[in-house]
Amino acid sequence: MVDDGKGKTQNRYQRIAEKIFFDRYQAGRTVLPFLRTDLESAAEELGVALPKNLGDVVYALRYRIEMPKRIRDTQTGEKEWVIQGAGRAKYEFRLVTVNRIKPNPHLLTIKIPDATPEIINAYAFSDEQALLAKVRYNRLIDLFLGLPTFSLQNHLRTTVKGVGQIEIDEIYVGIDKKGRQFVIPVQAKGGNDQLEGSKRGRICYVAGKNFQISFVGRYPPNSS
Amino acid sequence: MNDLIAMFELTLVDDVIKVVQESHYQLVPHQRIHESELRRYNQLT
């Protein structure tokens, strides 16, 4: 199959996922492990071309495209199938309870004098990039956490033990008045994103039309 | 897009994600922050 558009790639990835899923699925099972090499054998059996970067199939299904309908049809109640890393080159379909975190409509909105350089508004490539820039220029992480923080790196790809490769939108580091140091991973979602998996694949970010969302965590350094 | 930004601090409790705190910020030109709003912010602790 020639990959000449987003739709076809999506369809191809979903067919591969479906095959791997239903080769393992039995009613009642909640964890279906598979290996990166299973992606190759599934694609071969289906006669579809694989991308050079095999990990993109899993990445797309975790973050960009929907789980195929046939797989979703086996979900019940609040549970949803997600793909999680289970170590290097190992993955699993896992039926999990998904948290739906959405902005509380009753919360007071605090107005902040906008310090975003106007030129950023003109040139930001995406909602997500624009949001990360706004958060940075307006020091919203400092305001929110009450800590001085410093942006360390954007789009950090790293490997977490037992999870596999993850990508974090931006990493801040910070320090409080008692000298405690923090590593602060930040995920940003522009408006209108529908569902998005976290690094653990257990969370849905439900953004309303008017909201942009930023998630932060706070960890001591050298914790995994 | 009206620059309404919802921020969540999240943490893991027994492998489940929980919200530690949430704030909503709106980025505006300074003229759009009225004195009454500043007074209200001053009363919040």
Chain segment A8-51, per-residue pLDDT in tens:
777 889 999 999 999 999 998 999 999 999 999 999 999 988 88
**Per-residue model confidence (pLDDT) at position B27:** 93
- Residues of chain B contacting A203 with CB distance shorter than 8 Å: 10, 17
ipTM: 0.93
Question: A144 and B17 in contact by Cβ < 8 A?
Answer: no
Of residues A116, A203, A211, nearest to B27 (C-beta): A116
Shared domain for A16 and A87, answered yes or no, is yes
* A30 min Cα distance to partner chain B (Å): 16
Shared domain for A123 and A93, answered yes or no, is no
What is the domain range of residue A61? 6-97
The total domain count for chain A is: 2
Question: A144 and B23 in contact by Cβ < 8 A?
Answer: yes
* A136 min Cα distance to partner chain B (Å): 12
Shared domain for A179 and A122, answered yes or no, is yes
Beta-carbon count within 10 A of A200 CB: 18
Of A62, A97, A132, which residue sits at a domain end? A97
The DSSP call for residue B45 is -
Q: What is the pLDDT of residues A160-175, one digit of tens each?
A: 665 566 678 888 888 9
Shared domain for A199 and A150, answered yes or no, is yes
Proportion of chain A above pLDDT 90, given as a percent: 33
* Distance (Å) of CA B33 to CA A112, B3, B7, B24: 8, 14, 20, 15
Q: Which residue of B has its CA nearest to A212?
A: B5
C-beta of residue A75 within 8 angstroms of C-beta of residue A81: yes
Question: B24 and A217 in contact by Cβ < 8 A?
Answer: no
SS3 A37: helix
In a domain, A76, yes or no: yes
